Amino acid sequence: MIQTTVKVDGMMCGMCEAHVNDAVRKAFPVRKVSSSHGRGETVILSEDALDEQKLRAAIDATGYTVTAVTAAPYTKKGFRLFG
């Protein structure tokens, strides 16, 4: 699983977050997408790495601006096995 964090400029409210989330869902088969206008970022969980150019294009088409994209392997927090 890959966690992609996208810094997005221009989101001002919950509707802005919804527009970005919908654009990401339409462009990619993602497990989860969550945006925060307060933090100015969108966090995406997907099985495979996302094409950065396609991701930028999908979000830019909504009228918001992608300023940075980072991706890293995702590990669920708080999960531990005890033997």
**Where are the strands (E) in 1-83, listed by range?**
2-9, 32-36, 41-46, 65-73
**Would you give the DSSP letter of residue 81?**
-
pLDDT by residue (tens digit) across 20-69? 999 999 999 999 999 999 999 999 999 999 999 999 999 999 999 999 99
CATH topology of domain 2-73: Alpha-Beta Plaits (3.30.70)
Contact of 14 with 26, CB cutoff 8 Å: no
Q: What is the pLDDT of residue 76?
A: 77
Alpha-carbon distance of 54 to 38, in angstroms, equals 24
Q: What is the pLDDT of residue 83?
A: 46
Alpha-carbon distance of 42 to 13, in angstroms, equals 13
Give this prediction's pTM.
Answer: 0.88
Domains of the chain, residue spans: 2-73
Which residue has 């869902």 as its token pair? 25
